[in-house]
A and B are shown apart, each in its own frame.
Chain A
């Protein structure tokens, strides 16, 4: 289903839960709404479903305004955070519910329900009641129940939140495959960035009721448009200025409004910092000198905390290289950084490194 949302707003009394959100979604896409808890993601999802009435703004399905349509007539499926399975109905009746509403014949219902049960891999459990199922099984039933009436849009509210960590990973992959097999346009809400990046075709970052950025996970990671997005997705160092960082001395002069550059935010990803002995560094001329403050083993890499000028930076270092110790003097090469000022965002590369590679 093709979806357009225009200037969507929702107030709960004094509290503005969603403020002027607009976006388009193309048919067949799997979209992740990502953001911190209480940021308005679920409210957006519920407005799409018709469970919540927008204060203002428009929701269009296939170019038609659906604002006035009740949830029953929107052709959606909704998977609730705690599944909301009907606890007095068994698995079969739960999945059949939406079909009986559509007044399908008994035969059609049976065929479709068993097809869904087969699809979610719960064959033989049709007679079970929700309280006799594990968390992961309930999740699958909720998914099948939402999909059984063949909705055009599937909405999932924190679909994995109530499942323990190990099963969650399996279910994620399963859900992704399932959705691409069925081919239904889907939107899911999550506060877990790993989950969003792994599952979604595109993510929308929502914070304090605003849409911060929309794009493929790689785009959003690579080119964050706001400091919030940059700090929410992946790890990052946030600095107030670029003083004493070699290669970026003039960075703030690239901003449109140079006079107010003091209020800019600088963001550096740990993975774009190279730290080591001078001979290890790819381009020593472009590096600053730093002091190792602490070293931590992080499973697949070393996390090194270095002091450069008055900044403290977190950097990554591979395990193959020689282990650094606190107190070591090291070279710190910063390949790139992001610069944010008001609504302007810049991606800058190390100027000295660029100049020297251009010279060759």
Chain B
């Protein structure tokens, strides 16, 4: 009895909050025929927006993976740093989770915006940060930072140090030990973190909107384009891009499931 009610409610909640809305994006996007859909996607500003998103995703994923793994290694393995300090650093890692993306963007504006000391300095060097790609990358890096660290840390803790020590006593240096011993045990965790980072950097909206200025054909990303089209009541165009993004999310969900399974095996 309870079981049946529970399952029914679960299905209902999923249906109302997730499945029907998702379906709605699909039906609305194709409601005016595939021609309209295709048209909306191949307009130059749409193509450019996807390109900007792709560039940001690529840069952010590489940097976040590199620094995320290194910081996780440092927080878990480095015993030379006092426990207290590691504990403090560890709690700072989570801060971006608590920061509204809008504030995340605002921070970069306040620090590197046109009227700030740093902003004018970089401007003088001919580097534009805010309302340009570097600022958007920074904003996305901020927002995605905890994802990799939080995936890799528990895996490192679980494998422990013995296999690494075994490699040292067998003559392997730090570099070789990392690639032959540590990496194989954390790679699925890293992959999971990569997928999460990609998902978050495609989807990041608030922070990017603030620092990008949302300039068509320049700093507009796929998500800020959706926003702009909705504001202009151009629902077909908004839907078409949203549909592509939603499809990507589903691919990401599948990837996550797959990575999770691999992670459990090893």
**Contact surface of A with B, Cβ cutoff 8 Å:** 49-51, 70-73, 76-78, 80, 82, 84-88, 97-98, 101-102, 145-146, 149, 155
- Give Cα distance in the complex from A306 to B227, angstroms: 93
Q: Are B171 and A51 in contact (CB under 8 A)?
A: no
User: By CB atoms of chain A within 10 A, which of B163, B169, B184 has the most?
Assistant: B169
Please determine whether B173 and A80 come into contact, CB atoms closer than 8 angstroms. no
In the bound complex, how far is the Cα of B171 from the Cα of A146, in angstroms?
Answer: 10
With A88-B184, A88-B185, A88-B266 in contact, do A102 and B163 touch (Cβ < 8 Å)? no
Chain B positions within 8 Å of A51 at CB level: 165, 168-169
Known: A80-B162, A80-B165, A80-B166. A101 touches B171 (CB 8 A): yes
Note all chain B residues with C-beta closer than 8 A to A80: 162, 165-166
Query: Chain A contact residues: over half helix, strand or loop, or mixed?
Result: mixed
Judged by a CB distance under 8 angstroms, whether B172 is at the interface is yes
Contact bitstring B182-217, A, C-beta under 8 A = 1, else 0: 001100000000000000000000000000000000
Please tell me which one of the listed residues B166, B171, B173, B184 contacts residue A149 in the complex, with CB atoms under 8 A apart: B171
CB neighbours of B170 from chain A (8 A)? 77, 97-98, 101, 145-146, 149
Tell me if B166 and A86 are in contact (CB < 8 A): yes
B54 on the A face (CB < 8 A)? no
Determine how close the nearest CB of chain B comes to the CB of A98; give it in whole angstroms.
4
Top 7 A-B pairs, shortest CB-CB distance: A98-B170, A84-B162, A78-B169, A101-B171, A84-B166, A71-B168, A88-B184
Which listed residue (A70, A87, A88) contacts B168, Cβ 8 A?
A70
The answer to whether B261 has its CB under 8 Å from any CB of chain A is no
Measured between beta carbons, the chain A residues less than 8 angstroms from B169 are 49, 51, 71-72, 76-78, 146, 155
**Chain B positions within 8 Å of A101 at CB level:** 170-172, 176
B24 CB–A CB distance under 8 Å = no
Asked if B185 and A97 make an inter-chain contact with CB atoms under 8 angstroms apart, the answer reads: no
Asked whether A86 lies within 8 Å of B172 as measured between CB atoms, the reply is: no
When the two chains form their complex, are residues B266 and A97 in contact, meaning their CB atoms are under 8 A apart? no
Other A-B pairs beyond A80-B162, A82-B162, 10, CB < 8 Å: A71-B168, A72-B172, A86-B181, A87-B185, A88-B184, A97-B167, A97-B170, A101-B172, A101-B176, A145-B170
Q: Are B163 and A87 in contact (CB under 8 A)?
A: yes
| B176 CB contacts on chain A under 8 angstroms | 101
Q: Please, which residues of chain B bring their CB within 8 A of the CB of A87?
A: 163, 185, 266
Q: Across the interface, name the chain B residue whose C-beta is closest to A74.
A: B169
10 contacts between A and B (CB under 8 A): A49-B169, A51-B168, A73-B171, A80-B165, A86-B163, A86-B181, A87-B163, A98-B170, A101-B172, A145-B166
Which residues in window 152-180 of B have CB below 8 A to A?
162-163, 165-173, 176, 180
Q: B165 and A84: CB pair below 8 A?
A: yes
Residues of B within 8 A of A102 (CB): 171
Contacts of A49 in B (CB 8 A): 169
Residues of B within 8 A of A85 (CB): 163, 166
The docked-state distance in angstroms from the alpha carbon of A76 to that of B166 is: 11
Write out the residue numbers on chain B whose beta carbons fall within 8 Å of the beta carbon of A97.
167, 170, 172, 180
A72-B185 contact, Cβ under 8 Å, with A84-B163, A84-B165: no
Chain B residues whose C-beta falls within 8 Å of the C-beta of A76 in the assembled complex: 169
A70 to B162, CA, bound (A): 16
Complex CA distance for A102 and B173, rounded to whole angstroms: 11
| With known contacts A84-B162, A86-B163, A87-B185, A72–B168 Cβ distance under 8 A | yes
Identify the interface centre among B166, B172, B181: most chain A CB within 10 Å of its CB. B166
Evaluate contact between A71 and B165: CB separation under 8 angstroms: yes
Assembly CA distance A70 to B175 (angstroms)? 14
Q: Are B171 and A78 in contact (CB under 8 A)?
A: no
Give A51 to B162 CA distance when docked, in angstroms.
10
Chain B: CB-nearest residue to A78:
B169
Question: How distant is the Cα of A145 from the Cα of B169 in the complex, in angstroms?
Answer: 10
Q: In the complex, what distance in Å separates the CA atom of A7 from the CA atom of B181?
A: 35
- Cα(A155)–Cα(B162), bound, Å: 14
CA distance in complex: A88, B173 (Å) = 19
How far apart sit A73 and B174, CA to CA, in the bound complex (Å)?
13
**List of B residues within 8 angstroms of A86 by Cβ:** 163, 166-167, 180-181, 184
Kindly state the separation between the CA atoms of A70 and B176 in the bound complex, as whole angstroms: 15
Assembled-state Cα–Cα distance A270/B194 (Å): 67
Please determine whether A78 and B165 come into contact, CB atoms closer than 8 angstroms.
yes
**Can you name the residue of chain A whose Cβ is closest to the Cβ of B266?**
A88
Most buried by B among A78, A84, A85, A102: A84
